[in-house]
Structure 1
Amino acid sequence: SSDVVAGYLDAKWNWSTLVGKVNSSTWKAHSVLSTTDATKNNLVGVFYNPTTTTKGNKVFLLAGSLGELNRSGVQRKRENLGLKLVVGDVREPTGSEPSGRIDWAEPTSPLNESTKTAHQGNLTEFLAAGGSGVLTEDGTLVFPLMAENGNGDVYSMMIYSTDNGSNWALSEYMTFAKCYNPRITEWEGSLLMIVDCENGQRVYESRDKGRTWTEAFGKLLGVWAKPRLVFWDVSLHLD
């Protein structure tokens, strides 16, 4: 089983202070998602690929959840329990606390059945992609996402909220099949999504929250949109 934990950092710390805090005996990891949140019907919960973003004093954490049948002597069967969203409120420290803390709410499922079935992609499973979420200039919360259809094909897309996380929607556009590990960022008013496909990395650009995308063929430092026939420094691969 696996939980999702978080350690709290202060953005004002410089590098040496950060290293000292992490290495100190007082550093603590705080449970955000516990395996008990994913356990049902004798299932062992597993959380994977957590990703976060912030807005105001709130922290939004999205993770995928799986369950495995806990039966001794029998091959375990894994079940996709969907996406889990946890929202935390950052509060000021009290007199007895060295720094502020985050009060985490109960996990919820950001996608309801009507949202899933309304999408034209005939999607059956949704998979957390990890990486980082984005808060756009207009206040939209965006997370990268992978989705699987009934034929077992995996696509990259995104999930977003325009009302501070109260409701979530799927982007209309999906990449070609067999494009994995989406990473997103905002650049000059556009959302960029970088994905790993069979023939190399591809970069897509959208200005309308994923309703339409165009493939970016221009140069973007650190990104290879096409495979190379010569050896390259893998440390420059964009993650």
Structure 2
Amino acid sequence: MNACDIHGRDLKTLEQAVFAVVPLGSFEYHGPHSPLGTDIVLAEGFANVIDPSLGGAVFPTIPYTACPGKTNKYKGTIPIRPIIIQEYLIDITMGIIEQGIKKIILLNAHDGNMGVSRTVAEYVTGKHTDASFLLINWWQMVDINAAAEIGFEGTKGRGHGGPYEMSAVKAFRPDLVRVNADDEEFKEVPPLSSYPYILVEGTPKAWDGYTGLIQQTSYEKGKKIVEKATANMNELIKNWLEN
């Protein structure tokens, strides 16, 4: 159900929701080929393909958030301070719990929301020990080694404004992504290690507000990504609810 559509006289319907979904986006430059609302489209898109039989209530997407220094310098990005989004998200999730919904999914489409999501979830569950949060980053719902199966050649496609992300946007809104033949492409930088790590740089290599071999962006690849991510996401949510 869409929480915005619930009438005041029907609040019991909202109280009966098994879980709440809070989509997390951003308003941020993703390159000349991509919409500023890329992360909003993806957050809303994936929220709306959650299996309705699971009993969730989808709340409004958060459009503004903290953005990294590497995109702050590009016009089009509207960042807010990290402390603001943290306090804002605490109030939103506490408000949802006050409605009687104790299970909350933070469905994220923006890398910069990952840290704040964890911080907020840890804080709120400390205040409400019967609450449970599931933090989902949509792009992690597809195996990173599935690139060739999806159709990418010589690249995994991952990266801000890259062909993986923008193909997914095309699957939801094919009208919004426009890659021109002369748009610059960037080869992937070899990883520093095979182990997980986080590298934060103000100006990364192979970067101009976006990255990747964007000429490989396509609607067909996007459909495969969204289908795989949706199936895996719904399975994850089902397992969370059952356990």
Place the TM-score, normalised by the shorter chain, in its bin. Answer: under 0.3
More helix by share: 2
TM (normalized to structure 1)?
0.26
Structure with the bigger percentage of strand: 1
